[in-house]
Every structure is written in C-alpha cells, then in structure tokens.
Amino acid sequence: MTNDFVLLNQPLSPLAPRVGQLTTTHGKILTPAFNPVATQATVKAISSAELEDLGVSTIIANSYHLLMRPGIDLIEELGGIHSFMSWMHPIATDSGGFQIFSLGHMLQVDDDRLTFKSHIDGSLHSLTPEEAIQNQERLGVDLMMSLDQCVPFTNEIEAVQMGVRRTTLWARRCREAWSGKAMLFGIIQGGVFPEEREKSAKELVAMDFPGYAIGGLSVGEPKQSMYATLDSSCELLPINKPRHLLGVGSPEDLLEAIARGVDLFDSALPTRIARNGSLFTPEGRINILNARFKNQSGPIYPGCDCVTCTNYSTSYLHHLFKTQELLSLRLASIHNLRFILRLLEEVRVAIRANEFNAYKEAFLQTYKPTDEQTRIAQKAKWASARRG
C-alpha cells in the first residue's frame, strides 16, 4: 500500500522516539530518515549513483528553484523529476514558500498569494497555495509540503500570529487542491511561542494531513528555544502520522528532535559545511585545511565506512582542499552525508532495542557541537553569500 506510514516500535507518547516505515510509489523509507537537499534537482557535487551507495532512501528538492529553472513544464514534459534527475527512489519537495521569503524579492504577500521577483532574472511571478500544490504534483514527487508563511526568528508575537493565521489559511487551500496522489505534509508554524505552536498544530491536525512538518525552526533562534518549541509542536501531533522537521541537520539537533518523536529531516548543512572543509567526526567537526592533517595517512576518523575514507587518506583530502581541486567538494560531501546516514542507521537500531537514550547520551558525550556563536556567524556568512 502506498502513502502508508507504519510505526515499528511502540512510542509511549507523542514526544517519544520512534522507528517507522513510510511507503511511497518510489519505494520505502525507514525513519528516522535524513533527506539530502537537492535544491535544483541535484545534491551538490553528488551523483544519483553515489546517493544510492551512501544508503540514501529519500531526497528533497525545491519547487521554487525548479519553478525558476528549468520550469515545471519542462520537467513534467520529460516525465517528471525522478527521471529528470535519474533518481528512482522517493523525492520530497518543499513548497517554495521558505525560499521565496528568504531568497526572492518579495513584492506583496496577502491572503490570496505571494507576488515576487525571481532572484535570478528579476522576472515577475506569483504563487497561490493551489499552484504550490499543482507544481509539486506536476513534478511527480512522493512527498510534498503545504505552502506556509515562515517568519524569521523574532520576539514580536504579532508577526508570528500573522504567520500562523496565514499558514492555516493556506494549509486549508492546499489540502483542498491536493489530488491525493503524493503524501501531503501540513506545515506547523508559530515561532518560539509555545501557545502559537500549539494553535498551529491543532489547526493543522484538525485538517487531517497524511503528515506534518515543523517549519520556522533553525532560522536563528537559540538551540534551547528550538528544543522547547519542538516539544510544543510535537506534543499535539497524532502518534501514527509522520513528522518532518524542516531545515535541521546537525547531529546534536537530529538526536534532540528524534528524542521528541521526529521522523524526517532535511538540511543542506552536511554538504554545505563539507564544501568549506568542515568534516564530521565522532568528536565534532574538524577543519580539513588545518595543517595537522597534512600528513595524516589514515581516514578522517578510524572506522568511518564512507567511500572517501575507504579509498583516500586524510592527507590526500587536505591536499585536494589546499589546491582547490573539484574532487575535494565531492569527497567531503560524501563523508558528511555518510556520517549523518550512519548516525540514523544506528539510531533506528537503538530505538528498536529500547536503547535510544543511552545511544544519544554516549554520542553527545564525545561529540562536541559547534559553539553557538561560530554556528550563527557561519550561517550568516552563508546566507549573505547566497543572496549576493
């Protein structure tokens, strides 16, 4: 049966870790699962065959970017996004709302639609909730998102309330426009205000979506706020429906969210930091450009099973980064994606063995997350380069 979600353990509450199996037209996804980000129908520097080798079961593309280039018409005409990018496994898309708010040049937002200029050529576009659904359906994806209004991190409740109101309004229109073919996720907003998160969750749950996504996090708020907000978002969600936390991809955040019952994740973080030479290890991130790696003949860390570490030395990767060789970007991306995928493989085993808390504790005892300030500075630098 397609578009089916089955839990493989018995979570004790809506805020407990779970293992599930999501069945789509293009295959099964074991959850918790991580979606590498294929913004423009390609995971940066990685081929489809490499995604399979990595153990990726699902990826997420972006319907705003694909609307801009090459256009929904073209992908539909060529048989859909799966054959377009030569990835025959599950594909999710975001509705494009977040990208239009963060990247596009917004001209007007009202209850009816978004009106904006393309960030590429300045051409005029608009998007209604119905069109957001049609675009994703025409791409032929397996999992799709309702159009939401994501409000940047703020302490002003009025802006957040406006976002929640509009997100609910649009979610209803999306739900009605939906043909039922792909799994549609309703997106919960509400900033860092527990009462707004609860309101949003309740309104969305009342519409009975096949799945729920949690948006508006990892947008600049402190980590502790994010975890508290997750509590208020997840608490009211039905246990038997999949939950996707949008835009989150650091190991510590994945574990905290899984602890609260999140099933699906997507984030450009693992590949974005990889291209800057920042590599995951069980002790935290390392910077491969550091001189101490110049003559390290072994893998990035002992026991890493990724294609990069099983074929190339740390010293060689250091050399490729030093000489700015293209292969560096791919090898680093493969390493970081594999780190995250393997983490989730281990997490799934731990949850089924009822040992998730011990696993999480052991992992976080050795893993030193990037400190808050560095993290915020890196994100700002990236966002500014992205807009520029």
Report if residue 316 touches a copy of itself, rule: CB under 8 A: yes
Report if residue 45 touches a copy of itself, rule: CB under 8 A: yes
Contact 132, 146 (CB under 8 A): yes
Report if residue 46 touches a copy of itself, rule: CB under 8 A: yes
Q: Of these residues, 94, 148, 253, 263, which one is catalytic? A: 94
Question: And the tokens for 122?
Answer: 């300045």
Report if residue 85 touches a copy of itself, rule: CB under 8 A: yes
Q: Closer to a copy of itself at the Cβ: 86 or 374?
A: 86
How many residues bind a copy of itself (CB under 8 A)? The answer is: 38
- Interaction with a copy of itself in 239-298: which residues (CB under 8 A)? 294-295, 297
Distance CA 325, CA 339 (A): 22
Query: Measuring CA to CA, which residue among 58, 52, 64 is closest to residue 182?
Result: 58
388, HSE (Cβ side, Cα atoms, 13 Å)? 6
Stretch 317-346: interaction string toward a copy of itself, x if CB under 8 A: -xxx-xx-xxx-xxx---------------
Among 311, 354, 357, 374, binds a copy of itself (CB under 8 A): 311
The one-letter amino acid at 319: H
Q: At what angle do helices 157-177 and 194-206 cross, to 10 degrees?
A: 10
* Catalytic residue status for 208: no
Report if residue 64 touches a copy of itself, rule: CB under 8 A: no
Report if residue 382 touches a copy of itself, rule: CB under 8 A: no
Among 40, 276, 370, 378, binds a copy of itself (CB under 8 A): 40
* Catalytic residue status for 266: yes
Report if residue 77 touches a copy of itself, rule: CB under 8 A: yes
**Which residues lie below 8 Å from residue 190, measured CB to CB, with a gap of 6+?**
160, 163, 164, 196, 197, 198, 199, 200, 201, 216, 229, 232, 233
Least distance CB 319 / a copy of itself (angstroms) = 5
Distance CA 335, CA 280 (A): 8
- What are the C-alpha distances in Å from 162 to residues 110, 126, 192, 330? 11, 20, 14, 42
Q: Of these residues, 4, 263, 266, 305, which one is catalytic? A: 266
**What angle (nearest 5°) sits at the alpha carbon of residue 15, between those of residues 14 and 19?**
80
Contact 205, 212 (CB under 8 A): yes
Least distance CB 80 / a copy of itself (angstroms) = 12
| Residues with catalytic roles | 94, 266
Binding residues vs a copy of itself (CB under 8 A)? 40-42, 44-49, 69-70, 74, 77-79, 83-86, 294-295, 297, 311-313, 315-316, 318-320, 322-323, 325-327, 329-331
